[in-house]
Structure 1
Amino acid sequence: MIRVADLPAAHPGRRLLTKRTPFFAAPGEPRCSYCVYVPTSWTPETELPVLVAVHGTGRSVGELREGLIPFAEEHQVIVVVPLFPVGIENPDDVDNYKVLDAHGIRFDLVLLDILEQVRFRWNARIGTVLLCGHSGGGQFAHRFLYLHPDRVAAVAVGAPGGVTLLDDALAWPEGTGDTRQRFGIAVDPAAVARVPVLLVIGADDDGRADLAAMGDHGHSRPEQLDRLGRSLALHGTAVQHVVVPGVGHSAPGTRPPVVEFFTGLLPDIRGKAVP
């Protein structure tokens, strides 16, 4: 695999591997892939922090990357957008990645392998990363936090339709009681509590009809987010909760508070970042 630093400055590969990159197959699981935005200010000597943005059920990865380019440019952050496709093993399975394991694939480990490639190719700081996701991406994001709190500097969770509570009396994905058997990892609420969390949703995002159509007749999206917030706070996590007026179930509509949240934390994160 080519490191960008090994290419001469005038090599066309430099243009291909900076700013908007192509999609790369994920190492070890080529059915998944990822793209990157590398800010204009990047040089081979820099060790930039990383923001991972996880798509929702619609897999709108193009809009997701484009929407974070201003943040990447202003704050010198590399944006990594994984793509977990529909239809692995089951052609109608749109949810595979949301609970982190399905069809023999550990999607959390796929992301960690992606980050290792990003570290190698762009000399990026991946010891801890910023992590955000909306809807299905929000499901992935908070569950990834539970299993890998040491790899997350801060997480923003937007409007998830389903949540996992820090409750050992419930099995995954409703709770964390069987994660040692399922993942080989026992969730540590104290480690999770060291990571700042933003919960964000549009004021017009009820989602009750959508969730009922998928078999959940008990909760709306705001109720799910409240349940998650209470569970995190009960175990000591510093949780911010933002409701965006006039916005429905929209990743772009709820992005401004996510950007504000990460911007406020970046100075401290840069100081503590581990390459």
Structure 2
Amino acid sequence: MQELGTSEAAARARAFYDYGETAIFASTADPRFHMLLYVPPTVAQGRKVDLLVAVHGTGRTSAIEFRDGFSEFGLYNDCAILCPIFPINVRGDGARSGYKYLVEGDIRYDHVVLSMVEEMAAKYGQDWSTFAMFGFSGGGHFTHRFALLHPEKLWAASIGAPGSVTLLNPEKDWWIGTRDLAEKFGRPLDIEALAKVPVQMVVGALDLETWEITHKPGSVYYMDGANDPGSTRPERLRSLQKSFEAAGVKVTFDEVPGVSHDRLKVLGHVKQFLAQVLKEKRA
């Protein structure tokens, strides 16, 4: 058997691990956090593509499901897919939900994602100064809060079935409102920039379980008023829709009939939304 030369072997390894459905990479900025991607093979020949960041839920396994679920979309729409992975117990305390609220101890999860995007843009020779973001369940938490902090970075946001929502309420503190946003994150709420972001909100019409999303006194993220936006995910997402629209944000709301808390059964609606935004963006 003929052995490959060093350069040929390296090229084959790049083709195998760095393009298409990639290996899992550690973030250079913070190796506690990982990512996997779908990168259209044409990028290896210098093709420029857009980027979708797809954020997992509490179980984390949806990172792979989203990467694979969006790969065909990415191939035919010239769009790379980046799926960050925020492990449970990253601070050694067993916590599952810190990333949903963007800050946990000394970790700023929004900064983690921005550093991942910057690193991968350099790796693949792309301009990903703006990107789209989709998240479902815990990822829906992350996506709408990321949009509040960094609307200028997004060409679209798809917010899927978050268990709790941050309303644009200047009379309530984070996380249920935005009064202390600048103090907590060093960035004021930029309503004008947010209003420029095409936003989709998507949830199953039968997503009615409340056991995981009802905040009880004494729980980690309990605040007075935490349950006011509604008892179910559809109710809470409708409250977020009203809050966004009152601020001038255009929202496409998709309540999917016959679907419960099933991330894979809403992806078709998300792809349709993103494809339309890409068409308008590239016109």
Give the TM-score of the pair, scaled to structure 1: 0.91
User: 1: CA distance between counterparts of 2:126 and 2:45?
Assistant: 10
Give me the CA root mean square deviation.
1.7
Q: CA deviation at 1:10?
A: 4.3
Q: CA deviation at 1:91?
A: 3.3
Aligned to 2:100: 98
Q: Which one has the largest radius of gyration?
A: 2
Answering whether residue 229 of structure 2 is matched by residue 222 of structure 1, we say no
Superposition pairs of residues 1-275 of structure 1, within 5 angstroms: 10-60=11-61, 61-212=63-214, 219-270=231-282
Q: Which runs of 4+ in 1 moved over 4 A?
A: 7-10, 213-218
User: 1: CA distance between counterparts of 2:45 and 2:178?
Assistant: 41
Counterpart secondary structure, 1:194: coil
Residues 50 and 125, structure 1, Cα contact 8 Å, conserved in 2: no
Cα deviation, 1:183-213, whole Å, max 9, x if unaligned, reads: 1000111211110110000111013233237
Q: CA deviation at 1:64?
A: 1.5
Counterpart secondary structure, 2:74: helix
User: 2: CA distance between counterparts of 1:187 and 1:105?
Assistant: 20
The worse-fitting range, judged by mean Cα deviation, of 262-271 and 158-167 is 262-271
User: 1: CA distance between counterparts of 2:11 and 2:101?
Assistant: 43
* Aligned residue identity for 1:223: E
Q: Which runs of 5+ in 2 are unaligned?
A: 1-6, 220-225
Cα deviation, 1:141-193, whole Å, max 9, x if unaligned, reads: 01111111110001000100011111111111111111111110001112111
Aligned to 2:3: none
Over the matched positions of the two proteins, sequence identity in percent amounts to: 34
Counterpart secondary structure, 2:157: strand
Aligned to 1:3: none
User: 2: CA distance between counterparts of 1:21 and 1:208?
Assistant: 36
Q: Which runs of 5+ in 1 are unaligned?
A: 1-6
Counterpart secondary structure, 2:168: coil
Residues 38 and 67, structure 2, Cα contact 8 Å, conserved in 1: yes
Aligned to 1:4: none
* Aligned residue identity for 1:195: V
User: 2: CA distance between counterparts of 1:93 and 1:138?
Assistant: 18
User: 2: CA distance between counterparts of 1:154 and 1:227?
Assistant: 20
